[in-house]
Amino acid sequence: MQKNLLIKLAVIIGVTLVFVYGIFGIPSSFSGDGLREAVLKNIHLGLDLKGGTHLILQVQINDAINSETDRAIEILKDEFGKARITYADISKPDANQPEKFVIKGVPLDSGSKVREIVQDKLPEFTQTPGADNSQILTMNAPTLAQLKSDTLEKSIEAIRNRVDALGVSEPMIQKNGLGDNQILVQLAGVDDIGRVKDIIQSTARLELRESRGSYPNEAAAMAAQPGGILPPNMVLLHGKPNRGGNGDVVYLVSKTSVVSGTDIRDAREGTKPDTSEPIVNFYLNPGPAKKFAEFTLAHQKGGSDPANLGIVLDNKVISAPGIESQISDSGEIYGGFTPESAKDLAMLLRSGALPASLHYLTERTVGASLGADSIRAGVKAAVAGMVAVLLFMLIYYRGAGINADLALIMNLVILLGFMGFFGATLTLPGIAGVILTVGMGVDSNVLIFERIREELRHGKSAAAAVDQGFSRAWTTILDTHVTTIVSALILFFVGTGPVSGFGLTLIFGLLANLFTAVFVSRVIFDAVLSRKARGEALSI
């Protein structure tokens, strides 16, 4: 054999080894299970195969814009008060345009003062005169755009923190390219969507408020108040009874909170040492901690004004314990938690609030059982198709059939190896892509072989026919591959989820095919020819 040929053979064996490594890595053992485990470590299964949850959420950006303009309105009212500027009304005229608000009824002579205040305090707004001597303030476009992208990013971050608590391996949480303000969440292997949605969407707005007594219902609570009127700054909120149990009682709590969720630095689930009841421990940021210390000092048992601490979650009182002593930077929340719910609440307090509410646009769940069925069916189809093609090539092209079969098998190895290296996800359409690659991969071999046969018919020698066959088929192969790669690329970029995975499989398959059908197959032919005597016939 020539030296040149030996080098090429070495290249082929090297490439094969590299891609076999891509599929298996270094398996822990060479038993069936060990290999299976090794493959699954490198080639990830999509959620249509593994089972899982696929969600598309839309961030209600207007929420964030609204709170921003609400803040601006508060600032203006405050400043107008200080500067003694009278006004009739400051409000948002159109709920669909939350970035806009109108100041009405400002006397003409205060106009310049108003302009000054706006320029000074609200530089991110543009002031334009409106009808009836009103002034329209609109958030500047760059500020608005920044706010939108910040809100989307913060939402993604908050969702990621929450999902991490589910312990999912490799969750996919990203901007969904399809529409505005959409987030795509894919959790392979998690199919109890009820829990997923609970965790993603819960607002978990925790507040610690002053609490003064509980009553069986609203009527009883009102009756107990002096004069039947609630004290100022106090409201009634429903909640669980303090002594445990599942009833519903009404608490009298302060309107404002002493400490809220954003003041919390850290929160961990734990258990009460004496009863091993699940609790949540929380730790406060320094500023709020000082405020909390003052509050607990004043309201502790035996203090100047004893009161209970109302722990309010999403406007429901979960417990209202008495304050035993002054607390500064940490505390515990209890009240009918299960270990699971304590863990969830701790996580939600840690992960911070969602900047805007979320709407679900799509939810898909694939049960693990369906995924398993799909894998079985897909593999069966792949094996059946592959065997049929391999057998046919052997029968139809005899000696050269072995060549084509080797190239095909290597094509498959490279394709799967590619997927392993790129950490690509194998979806059900992806398996179909693999099968299709086998079918289309054989096309290149057929093109070349038919060409060689033609050249042989024209009376060329085996070596010349092989040479001509390959060089003539090459342009065709290049053209067909480029066009198919173009459509596969479009699938990959424009498609979503499984379709995109299918496009990727197809691209890898076509690239592998260019290598195997043109290079590998050629080297095998050359190797065969180099051992043949001159003029001996080629088995094709």
Binding to other proteins in span 152-171, by CB under 8 A: 166-167
Integer Cα distance of 260 and 443 in angstroms: 67
Least separation in angstroms between CB 390 and other proteins: 10
Integer Cα distance of 30 and 39 in angstroms: 12
Which residue is it, tokens 């519903």? 248
Does 11 sit near other proteins (CB under 8 A)? no
Binding to other proteins in span 499-528, by CB under 8 A: 499, 502-503, 506
Does 269 sit near other proteins (CB under 8 A)? no
Least separation in angstroms between CB 362 and other proteins: 5
Does 272 sit near other proteins (CB under 8 A)? no
Gyration radius of the chain's alpha carbons: 35
3-state secondary structure (DSSP) of residue 330: strand
From residue 168, give the alpha-carbon distance in Å to each of 73, 198, 227, 269, 289.
43, 15, 56, 19, 34
Residue selected from 26, 84, 95, 194 as contacting other proteins according to rule CB under 8 A: 194
Least separation in angstroms between CB 197 and other proteins: 7
By rule CB under 8 A, what string of x and - marks binding of each residue 453-492 to other proteins?
xx-----------------x--xx--xx-xxx-xxx-xx-
**Of the ranges 131-139, 188-196, 253-261, 314-322, which one interacts with other proteins (CB under 8 A)?**
188-196
Closest listed residue to residue 267, CA positions, set 313, 327, 331: 331
Residue selected from 193, 222, 235, 293 as contacting other proteins according to rule CB under 8 A: 193
By rule CB under 8 A, what string of x and - marks binding of each residue 22-61 to other proteins?
--------------------------x--x----x-x---
Does 1 sit near other proteins (CB under 8 A)? no
Least separation in angstroms between CB 97 and other proteins: 20
Phi, psi of 283 (to 5 degrees): -130, 135
Which residue is it, tokens 């009918």? 336
Integer Cα distance of 258 and 455 in angstroms: 91
Beta-carbon count within 10 A of 17 CB: 12
Does 20 sit near other proteins (CB under 8 A)? no
Of 296 and 374, which CB lies nearer to other proteins in the complex structure?
Answer: 374
Binding to other proteins in span 331-390, by CB under 8 A: 338-340, 359-370, 372-374, 376-378, 380-382, 384-386, 388-389
Residue selected from 12, 147, 183, 190 as contacting other proteins according to rule CB under 8 A: 190
Beta-carbon count within 10 A of 10 CB: 10
Beta-carbon count within 10 A of 12 CB: 18
Least separation in angstroms between CB 524 and other proteins: 20
Least separation in angstroms between CB 226 and other proteins: 43
Residue selected from 439, 471, 530, 532 as contacting other proteins according to rule CB under 8 A: 439
> CB of 332 within 8 A of CB of 270?
yes
Number of residues in contact with other proteins under rule CB under 8 A: 87
Amino acid at 418: F
> CB of 475 within 8 A of CB of 403?
no
Does 498 sit near other proteins (CB under 8 A)? yes
Integer Cα distance of 333 and 466 in angstroms: 81
Residue selected from 77, 104, 197, 350 as contacting other proteins according to rule CB under 8 A: 197
Binding to other proteins in span 84-113, by CB under 8 A: none
Q: Which two tokens stand for residue 250?
A: 């009404």
Phi, psi of 121 (to 5 degrees): -95, -30
**Of the ranges 206-214, 223-231, 294-302, 426-434, which one interacts with other proteins (CB under 8 A)?**
426-434
Q: Burial code of 442-479, b = ≥16 C-beta within 10 A, e = fewer?
A: bbbbebbbebbbebbeeebebbebbbbbbebbeeebee
